[in-house]
Amino acid sequence: MLMTNKEKEIVSFLKEEYPEAKATLIFHNPLECLLAILLSAQTTDKSVNQVTPPLFERFPTSKELANANVKDIENCIRSIGLYHNKARNIHALATVLEEKYGGRIPMKKEELMKLPGIGNKTAGVFLLEMGKEQYFPVDTHIKRISTRLGYAKKEMEPLEIEKRLEKIFPKEEWAYLHHAFIYFGRDICKAIHPLCEKCKLGKYCVYLKKHSSTTDR
C-alpha cells in the first residue's frame, strides 16, 4: 500500500517521538495477556500492572480461576474500576476456556469474541500482542486522534474507524501505529489541553484549526 504524504508525515513524526512504542501492560503468557487487556478497560495500564501480579500468583491457570470464588478474584483487583464486573467476566471466561477449549485460548478473532467480556477491541489487541493476526484496534486515544486528523467523525463507532485506518495505513505498520497513537494520545494529543505546541501534525489537525480560528476572532 502506498501512503500519501500525510500518512508518511504522521508515521515519520510518531517514529521520531516514540521509536520503541509497545504495550505497557505486563504479562508472561497468553492467559495473562488476555486478562490484562480485559482488566484495562476504563482504567490505566499502570493500575492494571499493580493488580495482576497478586492475581496471577494466586490463580496462575484458567482452571484455578474457574474453580475460584468470584469474591476472591474481586479482592485481587479491587483497586481498579469496574472490579465487580471484571471479576465476574474473568471467572466466566476461565470457565468457558476450561469447559469448551480445554484451557487453551483460541487464536481466532471470531472464537475469542464468544468468550465472556471479550469484544472486538480486546480480541484485536490480544491477537496483535500474540503476533497471530494484524489489526488496528481503536481505543479512546486512537478515536480522538483519528477524529482530529480527519480520518473519523465523532459519531463513528470504533470498529468503523478501525476498518478505515486499516485501509489507509500499510498492514506492516498497524501494530506499531496502534501503540504509537496511544503514546501520542497520552503524551501530547490529550483529550483536555492537548500540547499542540509539541506536535508537528498541526496542518492536518481539525481540532487545531477550529480552536485557532476561535482564538483569532
Compute the distance between CA of residue 39 and CA of residue 48 in angstroms, rounded to an integer.
6
Distance of CA 43 to the CA centre of its chain: 11
Handedness of CA 14, 17, 20, 26 (dihedral sign): negative
Q: Which of 15, 139, 163, 200 is catalytic?
A: 139
3-state SS record for 20-88: CCCCCCCCCCHHHHHHHHHHCCCCCHHHHHHHHHHHHHHCCCHHHHHCCCHHHHHHHHCCCCCHHHHHH
* Residue 216 among the catalytic residues: no
Give me the half-sphere count of Cα atoms (radius 13 Å) on the Cβ side of residue 8.
Answer: 5
Handedness of CA 111, 114, 115, 119 (dihedral sign): positive
Compute the distance between CA of residue 207 and CA of residue 12 in angstroms, rounded to an integer.
21
* Residue 72 among the catalytic residues: no
Of 48, 118, 125, the C-alpha closest to 90 is 118
Residue 46, SS3 per DSSP? helix
Active-site amino acid positions = 121, 139
